[in-house]
Structure 1
Amino acid sequence: MARADQEADVLIIGSGPSGAVTAKLLTEAGMSVVTLEQGTWFDPGDYPGDKKEFELAAGKQWHPAPNVRDRERDYPINTSESDVEPLMQSAVGGSATIWAGHWVPFLPSDFKVRSLDGVAVDWPFDYYEVLPHLEAVEKLVSSSGTRGNPGYPEQAGYPTPQIPIGKAGMKLAEGMDKLGWHWWPGLNAMPSIPWQGQNPCARRGTCMFGCPEAAKWSPDLVLFKEAKKYGHRMIAGARVSEIIYDDNLSRVTGAVYIDQNGRERKQMAKIVILCANAIGTPRILLNSKSKRFPDGLANSSGLVGRNLMMHPFGLVMGHFEENLESWYGPSGQLINTLQFYETDESRGFVRGAKWGGMSGGGPLSSKGFVGSEVFSDNGRIEDHWGENWHKMIESKFGRTALWAIVGEDLPEESNRVEIDADLVDSDGIPAPKIIYKTSENSRRLLDFHAERAKESMEAAGAKSTSVAPQMRESGWHLLGTTRMGNDPKESVLNQYGQSHDIPNLFIFDLSAFPTGAGANPTATLMAVAHRQATHLVNEARNVEVA
């Protein structure tokens, strides 16, 4: 096990799902591995979901946007020129500590959108090359679900049985059945029975603010415990300021970081792997400059930070007469649908979206942001004050189900991550600025899907609906800013996540994705990281690691 002043075989920056998979595989292969994580460890007891003030805490201390939460371990992000607010968590386990647990693999078409639809780019490998790695990681995440979704090619089953979809899931399915549309029970990264030391889902429905039951899968609960058995070393509270590049060797040799006491330190390594998300990874590269790379490390293509994708997100709520007990979780997905996932040019746009059927949450969630401009059909705030507020809660709490629409946005170089000229984090490291504008294709896509989702709610018997075709605070999925590809002029990485410019620098997080699909990305992220780490284990003895 490498000490802080020793050279490790591998340095991983970031401890989210991709970093965790990588750490587990490399340590099991006998490599000395150190992970630097700017956040700290959370205990399940820290999470607010089992506390009376849960929904109030979720609006500030546990808000998913770092600009709102504003903890010392977060870094600020200039979003003044972005249509979407990025959401992430600084913690051991990364944003998977506060994710909803949606487990939705990409489809075969997602890897070949250029060939199929004439847009964006193809991936340098296809779905079937990823599939065995997907099946491997599904055993690691204690997923629960029902095998046989006709939207996918045949694959292995899941470790634990389906979590009940409940009355809210059945109500959503009723509308789909009446319209003759596809739906399938939701697959979630949480066990329905005790599994691998994890508790079964207690159905609190507070997944997106941490699981106090230690049931929802996250890297800190499972993979890093496994990696530690093989000598993995986690340095929490370590904020990386730059990656060290040796112009004479044409290699990276480690990273400089600021520890929790404000001291500057170095961690040296033979190989460096970035897993800091599609904002954090380009931020580190752009802040790391040398004689050879004056515009940022590994940036000869000029594409580091470019092609940011954030999955424009819409929400449609249905409010029903009957009590659906829709406070029950999981707040992952009760059911989902791929009915409108593939391109149909007659709709006026390309690509599509996955819908996740979800519960309505607590009283403040089910109200649907009354009086705001986010949702339609909610009236004035004055109409829902005092006694009317209580009537409104009685009519919606437990009686609301929703469709969460994850739309595919295509990569555009103008959507990007830059280093802000003035903004810095609490250690004085230059902070990122994101520039992101929703394309006309994405707007048409979201409008179409919102109308169809509203139609399904009405078919299910909703007495009213609330519709938000696009929500600003929805940037859970950050992708594309150091894309993979075969041409060094058109991409930052090769098909194994290896920098075209620097042979011992790798990127295994979502920033490597050439396109973003119309589905939640964590399942594919972990599968691709498993593929890349497996290749690295097999080829690590070669100097060039090609």
Structure 2
Amino acid sequence: MSTDVADVLIIGAGASGGVAAKHLAENGFGVVVLEQGDWVNQSDLPGLRPEYELLGAGPWHPNPNVRQRPEDYPINLEDSSAVIGMFNGVGGSTVLYASCWCRAKPSDFRVRTLDGVADDWPLTYEELEPFYRQVEFELGISGKGGNPAYPPGYDPPLPSLPINMSGRVMAEGMNRLGWHWWPGYNSIASQDHRHQKRCERYGVCMYGCPQGAKGSTDVALFPDALAHGARVVTGARVARITLDENGLANGAVYFQDGQEKFQPAKLVLIGANGIGTPRLLLMSASSQHPDGLANSSGLVGKRFMTHPFGTSVGLYEDDLEDWVGPTGEAIESMQFYETDASRGFVRGSKWHIIPNAGRPLGMINRFTLGEGGVADEPFWGESFTERMKSSVGHMIEWMIMPDDLPEEHNRITLDDSMTDSDGLPAAKVAYVTGENTRRLVDWNLQRSLEAHEAAGATKAWITNRNNPSWHNMGTAKMGDDPATSVVNRWGRTHDVPNLYVIDGSQFPTATGVNPTATICALAKRTATYLVENRREQEVSTA
């Protein structure tokens, strides 16, 4: 047992954990972070090696079932169409993510009011906007202000990164159609910024940035947290959150090197992602909370959402210099983001182009995937070299990111037979893509083929439909009513007054954009609330 009682114990050193640790430590709180992974040494990242794509398909794969590192826990996907992604280590999934940075739109917070489905968030875009701005500075977001798809004020702190040839070619096609597009927003520094170095455009962003340009929280935030006294304990797999005699959270039991240990705390924050957080709450069941900690509503683990995206590829005659980074987001489009009932579904999708820089093996897969592609054309044998020369670097890929509506049967539970290396139950995912999401993706994919045609593609085809992303959301819903939600508008659990959830688990809806910006803004908002209300906050004294 540690004799050092933390003012705040944060479980998980990912996006939300990094934001909260920095803010709370800077404001005088004694912070301890428990992380089941380790620090990532930039010299170990795959992007520095010629075999980086092979490493990214094995020991650096986003799916822990493939990666199978000692710090990973297995996930039972027998009842799921979702292929799960997450990374355990300081920085969490921000170490390997593509760095697309997208705010949710005002309509995302009012889905029930506008469209009669799901639930409204208990806060508005306007309430969250100041916190978006703050974390965008801290994480070195690059982009261009003035996007007409958003209310005024979305002005990233750093200039845009180059949108690359692929972005420019597609932008011209969108102009011909009269459709919205905008240079992409990325958590990649376009110039030296705080702890981040300027992007050198290696194009290996999804294999970890060896330059230190990406706004992963291990690079951008944890140095500040440590400088202000925060302590990060690595290799610490949390088994359960404990309560004192007054029903307040007073710390966590964790395993480190096979030894069971205890970290006491006055206040506990969970940032273990939309799968790890409900897993931990369910593992923390007790006589006081027999169905899982903070689960009086019965919603812990339910309403799992994961952005089942679609992709289409176009083949172009010109060399698009696709070997040039960054990966990130070249351009995005909000043309079809808002509901139009005539389309046969509600809500919409953000489109974005992720350049295929540095992924020749991945591009080969595009030839053998999809509907109407080139799998039936001469490709292997004598045709291989010519086909590769005329195709790799000549392709543009649209990604369709849909708003995935919450459904209670999509859920995270504890597996009754599979365990991790410390004997703790694995997470089990049950997920089926909903009919509204299928219709949404199909409709938008057809429009993306029209965009390829307008941009001058010689051939275009759909490569994926409803391919679940690595965005894990919705399993500890935020709301005002304790009967229909797990946490309140500040992320505080209704059942335990000093236990907070700060990650994407609290999303009432998925939104139609990548979630990291909103996760970070919510964590910043919660941390600010704790600082401003420290005198009123109930804490454990046991």
Q: Is the 8 A contact 1:368 1:466 kept in 2?
A: no
Query: Structure 1: which 5+ runs fail to align?
Result: none
Q: How does 1:516-535 map to 2 (within 5 A)?
A: 516-535=510-529
Report the count of equivalent residues: 538
Whether the 8 Å CA contact 2:160–2:190 is kept in 1: the answer is yes
Given that 2:147 and 2:154 are in contact with CA atoms closer than 8 Å, whether structure 1 keeps it comes out as: no
2:54 paired with 1:56:
yes
Per the alignment, residue 356 of structure 1 pairs with: 352
* Counterpart among 23, 26, 40 of residue 24 in structure 2: 26
Alpha-carbon distance between aligned partners in 2 of 1:518 and 1:505, rounded to the nearest angstrom = 29
- Quote how far apart the aligned CAs of 1:295 are: 1.0
TM-score (norm 2): 0.97
8 Å Cα contact 1:245/1:290 also seen in 2: no
Tell me the distance in 1 between the aligned counterparts of 2:70 and 2:381. Answer: 37
Within a 5 Å distance, the mapping from 1:454-493 to structure 2 comes to: 454-470=449-465, 472=467, 474-493=468-487
Please report how far the alpha carbon of residue 469 of structure 1 lies from its aligned counterpart in structure 2 after TM superposition. 4.1
Letter in 2 for 1:184: W
**Which of 256, 259, 267 is residue 263 of structure 1 equivalent to?**
259
Q: Deviation string for 1:257-314 (max 9, x for gaps)?
A: 111x211100010101000000000000101111121111111110000000001111
2:441 to 426, 442, 446: 446
Equivalent residue in structure 2 for 1:335, among 305, 316, 331: 331
Asked if 1:221 corresponds to 2:219, the answer is yes
Q: Secondary structure at the match of 1:493?
A: coil
Alignment RMSD (CA, Å)? 1.4
Q: Residue type matched to 1:186 in 2?
A: G
Q: How many angstroms does 1:51 deviate by?
A: 1.5
* Aligned counterpart, 2:363: 366
- Is 1:158 aligned to residue 145 of structure 2? no
User: Residue 15 of structure 1 contacts residue 94 of structure 1 at CA under 8 Å; is this kept in 2?
Assistant: yes
Q: Answer yes or no: is 1:286 the counterpart of 2:282.
A: yes
Tell me the secondary structure at the aligned position of residue 465 of structure 1.
strand
The answer to whether 1:245 aligns with 2:243 is yes
Rounded Cα–Cα distance in structure 2 between residues aligned with 1:136 and 1:386: 54
Distance 1:117 1:471, change over 3 A: closer
Post-superposition offset of 1:149: 0.3
- Per-residue displacement from partner, 1:321-377 (whole Å, max 9, x unpaired)? 110001222111110000000000100000001011121233212224443xx4223
1:126-154 per-residue CA deviation (whole Å, 9 max, x = no partner) reads 00000111111111011111110000001
Give the aligned partner of residue 398 of structure 1: 393
Task: Report the CA distance between 1:242 and its aligned residue.
Answer: 0.7
Q: Name the residue aligned to 2:341.
A: 345
Partner-residue secondary structure (3-state), 2:436: helix
Alignment correspondent of 1:179: 177
Counterpart amino acid of residue 113 in structure 1: V
SS of 2:494's equivalent in the other structure is coil
Tell me, yes or no, if the aligned pair for 1:141 and 1:217 is still in contact at 8 Å. yes
The reply on whether 1:413 has 2:408 as its aligned counterpart is: yes
Q: Deviations over 1:370-419 (max 9, x none)?
A: 43xx4223354894322222222112111111111110111111000000
Find 2:427's aligned residue among 424, 432, 444.
432
Quick one: which amino acid aligns to residue 453 of structure 1?
Answer: S
1:28-56 residue CA offsets vs partner (Å, 9 max, x unmatched): 11110100001101111111113111112
| 2:535 counterpart residue number | 541
Superposed, which structure 2 residues align to 1:494-513 within 5 Å? 494-513=488-507
1:404 match: secondary structure: strand
**Comparing 65-74 and 277-286, the one that deviates more:** 65-74
% identical aligned pairs? 48
C-alpha contact 1:40 1:92 (8 A) present in aligned 2: yes
Distance 1:208 1:363 in 2: 14
Secondary structure at the counterpart of residue 299 of structure 1: coil
Partners of 1:32 and 1:9 lie apart in 2 by 5
Question: Residue in 2 aligned with 1:320?
Answer: 316
State the AA in 2 paired with 1:386: G
Once the two structures are TM-superposed, the CA of residue 156 in structure 1 deviates from its matched residue by: 5.0
Give the conservation status (yes or no) of the 8 Å contact 2:241–2:249.
yes
TM-fit CA distance, 1:471: 5.1
The 3-state SS of whatever aligns with 2:70 is coil
Q: Which position in structure 2 is the counterpart of 1:273?
A: 269
Greater shift in the superposed pair: 276-285 or 133-142: 133-142
Distance change (3 Å), C-alpha of 1:61 and 1:31: same
CA deviation profile, 1:107-128 (whole Å, cap 9, x unmatched):
0000000001111000111000
TM-score by length of 1: 0.96
Residue 418 of structure 2 aligns to a residue whose secondary structure is strand
Cα offset for 1:159?
2.0
CA contact (8 A) 1:117 1:343 kept: yes
1:389 counterpart residue number: 384
Structure 1 pair 471–70 and aligned structure 2 pair: CA distance change class (3 A): farther
Q: Deviations over 1:404-457 (max 9, x none)?
A: 111011111100000011111111110100001000000000001111111101
Q: What residue in structure 1 maps to residue 202 of structure 2?
A: 204
Question: Displaced runs of 4+ in structure 1, greater than 6 A?
Answer: none
Question: What SS does structure 2 have at the residue aligned with 1:61?
Answer: coil
Give the conservation status (yes or no) of the 8 Å contact 2:141–2:156: yes
Provide the C-alpha distance between the structure 2 equivalents of 1:74 and 1:209, rounded to a whole number of angstroms: 18
Contact 2:530–2:537 at 8 Å: present in 1 too? no
- Give the Cα separation in 1 of the matches to 2:142 and 2:469: 25
Given the superposition, is the C-alpha separation of residues 16 and 448 from structure 1 closer, same or farther in structure 2, using an over 3 Å criterion? same
Q: Which amino acid in the other structure matches residue 269 of structure 1?
A: A
